[in-house]
Amino acid sequence: MTQLFNMALAKSIYYSKLAPRPIRLNRFYSKKIVLPILIVAISLFSFGTKASAQEASTGSQHRIEMFADKLIEGEDYLAYRMMLHEVTDQNGNTTDITSRYSIEAIVPGPTIIMDEGDVADITLFNRVPNPDEILHQENVSLHVHGVHYQFHSDGTLKYINLAEDQGATLVQSYTYRWDAAPGTAGTWPYHDHNMNTHNGAEDKGLFGALIVNPASGNVTISRGGNSSNTTLSSIQKEYVLYVLDDIFVGTEIDSQTGEQTPVWVNPTLTAQRGSNVRFHLIALGTNLSQFSLPGYGWVDAGTNFVISEKAMGPLEKHVVTIQADTSSNYMNTTFSGVSQGMIGRFNVNP
Ligand SMILES: [Cu+2]
């Protein structure tokens, strides 16, 4: 009974803080999305590596608080919501960057951006209001790929790790430490691994992206099929696009201000002509996808090949940095991708 009261109180406080829900959320549902996932692959590919004993941090410390939340009351979809993000640099100066994020629970979840060498402590709160789940002490987590972490930050259930449930219940938060150690630069998925099943409720919307920028501060950019090096600071826009089986769902980030805008399903992306932009594609579905952006070529990461299409299997990722030149469409050109209408505008403004 006390738990019920606490939850009701927490819920009322929490909802009273919410701004009115924007209508564009409805677009997300109007397509009757099912977010299918390859559950086995999630487990097999969940390769967040173990941190070696204790690597000295050379970068900033991030303190993050996130909620796992219902996306809309009455709907059975879930999403992560950013509550707090503070960054403390090596000189001890702390900056609160929470205002860069949407105040809503969003899909994909907040994009967490770190530099190679940074460490993040992320506390997750379970705010999925469902009386049944109180009884079951339903557990929600953050499981990340690509960066280093100790055992306790795996974000899995005792069923999998044989030791403990590593997640937040309605009465207890859980804190994870992610170490963006040297060598972990890249774009990585994070997702729930504990809710409803031992593979988590990723299929309900609990997934997001982690971008670890290289310590060098440099990226390879493609322009007219030629590649060169440029600085990270020259990038104007980041587009995080999760590639599901029947939709793209994404976030647009203004790299200069850091502001993150949820743009939802098959969004129209915008850029200024001549500006540098970066696409972060993460495949989540069960199908093979073929990402295409007609009129553009780019260097396939890790090779010297210039490509104009990229095949992606479930949970593969692909990062494309280009100079925006002409408007185009991004799309999934597989047979099922085309038949599902997986296409969106890339508008380049003069
Ligand atoms: Cu995973």
The strand pairing partners of 88, in sequence order, are 61, 94
Q: Does 289 lie in the same domain as 169?
A: no
Q: How far is the CA of 146 from the centre of ligand 1 (A)?
A: 10
Last residue of a domain, one of 163, 192, 213: 213
Question: How many residues in the chain?
Answer: 350
Task: Provide DSSP, 69-136.
Answer: EESSTTS--EEEEEEEEEEE-TTS-EEE-GGGS-SS-BSS-PPEEEETT-EEEEEEEEE---HHHHHT
List CB contacts of 205: < 8 A, sequence separation 6 or more.
35, 71, 77, 78, 79, 107
Q: How far is the CA of 96 from the centre of ligand 1 (A)?
A: 28
Residue 29 has pLDDT above 80, yes or no: no
Q: How far is the CA of 155 from the centre of ligand 1 (A)?
A: 10
Q: Does 202 lie in the same domain as 160?
A: yes
Q: Does 131 lie in the same domain as 228?
A: no
Residue 137 has pLDDT above 70, yes or no: no
Q: Does 187 lie in the same domain as 101?
A: yes
Q: What is the mean pLDDT of residues 299-304?
A: 88
**Cα dist from 304 to 250, 300, 307, whole Å:** 28, 7, 9
Q: How far is the CA of 191 from the centre of ligand 1 (A)?
A: 6
Q: How far is the CA of 327 from the centre of ligand 1 (A)?
A: 34
- The span from the CA of 151 to the CA of 189, in Å, is 18
pLDDT in tens, 60-82: 999 999 999 988 766 789 999 99
Q: Does 29 lie in the same domain as 69?
A: yes
Q: How far is the CA of 273 from the centre of ligand 1 (A)?
A: 36
Q: Quote the number of domains for the chain.
A: 2
Q: How far is the CA of 47 from the centre of ligand 1 (A)?
A: 8
Q: Does 200 lie in the same domain as 242?
A: no
Q: How far is the CA of 347 from the centre of ligand 1 (A)?
A: 32
Q: Does 255 lie in the same domain as 192?
A: no
What's the confidence (pLDDT) of residue 170? 87
Q: Does 129 lie in the same domain as 76?
A: yes
Q: Does 41 lie in the same domain as 165?
A: yes
Are the C-beta atoms of 87 and 62 separated by less than 8 Å? yes
Residue 35 has pLDDT above 80, yes or no: no
Q: Does 72 lie in the same domain as 175?
A: yes
Average pLDDT over all residues of the chain: 86
Q: How far is the CA of 117 from the centre of ligand 1 (A)?
A: 22
Q: How far is the CA of 66 from the centre of ligand 1 (A)?
A: 18
pLDDT in tens, 231-272: 999 999 999 999 999 999 999 999 999 999 999 999 999 999
Q: Does 343 lie in the same domain as 229?
A: yes
Question: Whole-model pTM?
Answer: 0.85
Are the C-beta atoms of 228 and 220 separated by less than 8 Å? yes
Q: What is the mean pLDDT of residues 198-214?
A: 95
Q: How far is the CA of 302 from the centre of ligand 1 (A)?
A: 22
CATH number of the domain to which 107 belongs: 2.60.40.420
Last residue of a domain, one of 213, 244, 266: 213
CA 313: distance to chain centroid? Answer: 17
Q: How far is the CA of 23 from the centre of ligand 1 (A)?
A: 31
Determine the structural domain holding residue 197 and report its residue range.
2-213
Last residue of a domain, one of 213, 240, 266: 213
